[in-house]
Amino acid sequence: MNTIIISGADAAYWPLLSGMLHSIEQGPRKEGIAVGILDLGLAPEHRDRLRSYGAIVVEPGWDYPVAHFSKPAPNAFQAMTARPHLPRHFPGYDMYIWLDADCWVQDPQAIALLASAASQKKFAIVPEVHRSYFTLSPYVQWLHDCYRRCYNENAANWLVYYPLLNCGVFAATGDAPQWAKWQEHLGRIIKRHDEFFFFAEQTALNGAIREGSSQRLCCPRTVTGCATGPCQGSIRKEISMSSLNRPTFRSASFIWLRLNPEYGLF
């Protein structure tokens, strides 16, 4: 299967992006997996190094009109507007794997796990839920605020009860139906707001997946881990978030979900 791993960064995120690329050198890159980078403001020397590495470098621009924003959106927001359109920015691949620049691939089997899951249900992503998350109240309030801001109060009251699907790491086939739904949701959210919202694209993905009967495979929490606490669970098939240099590993089981809400979000 023709596969590409994609990330994005500006000059400030270059050290993190460089580390992430180094982490896939011994696994996916040896297997011939392509690499694509969204250039969100990289320095010329960064672009040269990426091209020498063999990466495809794309300046995405804006995939949605943003002239109506009261304040100019930062270039980094282009990563959010471009993410639902990855097959257009990097055409010709069967499998698209997104890794945030602040990821570190601890075990290359994590990439294989994501790709295998996506090949089964077109879209594979990891829910932010685990038995070790013992303080949920502030998190749930933040999540409710995201949904209310992007949709409405009723939608927020419904969506907040589902685990958040983190778009920092996911895999999808080029023909996955979730792309179009994600594009539609994000476009409508951006159109109705007069300023950029950092979490708009992740909120839109969750809304798009929860609405209707869109299927996907939720990967186990061993695939991703946050960098905000002590190590827990097994250290197998994980991609640890390295922005704070304190990886946490979670473990969970595969969960199949198919949701059929009775009403739309808009």
Would you state the pLDDT for residue 87? 98
DSSP at 163: P
- H helices present in 24-73, as ranges: 44-53
Would you state the pLDDT for residue 115? 93
Would you state the pLDDT for residue 233? 25
Q: What is the amino acid identity at position 201? A: E
Would you state the pLDDT for residue 30? 81
- Distance of alpha carbon 224 from alpha carbon 240, whole angstroms: 6
- pLDDT, one tens digit per residue, over 220-243 is 544 554 433 332 222 222 333 333
- Distance of alpha carbon 59 from alpha carbon 196, whole angstroms: 19
Choosing among 3.90.550.10, 3.40.190.10, 3.30.465.10, 3.40.50.300, the CATH entry for 3-257 is: 3.90.550.10
What's the CA angle centered on 84, arms 14 and 263, to 5 degrees?
140
* Residue boundaries of the structural domains of the chain: 3-257
Average pLDDT of the segment spanning 191-200: 93
Chain-centre distance for alpha carbon 157:
23
- How far is the CA of 200 from the CAs of 15, 83, 189, 206, in angstroms? 26, 12, 7, 10
Greatest CA span in the chain, whole angstroms?
A: 52
- pLDDT, one tens digit per residue, over 18-54 is 999 999 988 888 888 999 999 999 999 999 999 999 9
List, in sequence order, every residue forming a beta bridge with 254; answer none if it has no partner. none
pTM to 2 decimal places: 0.82
- Distance of alpha carbon 172 from alpha carbon 181, whole angstroms: 13
Least confident of 106-120, 128-142, 225-239: 225-239
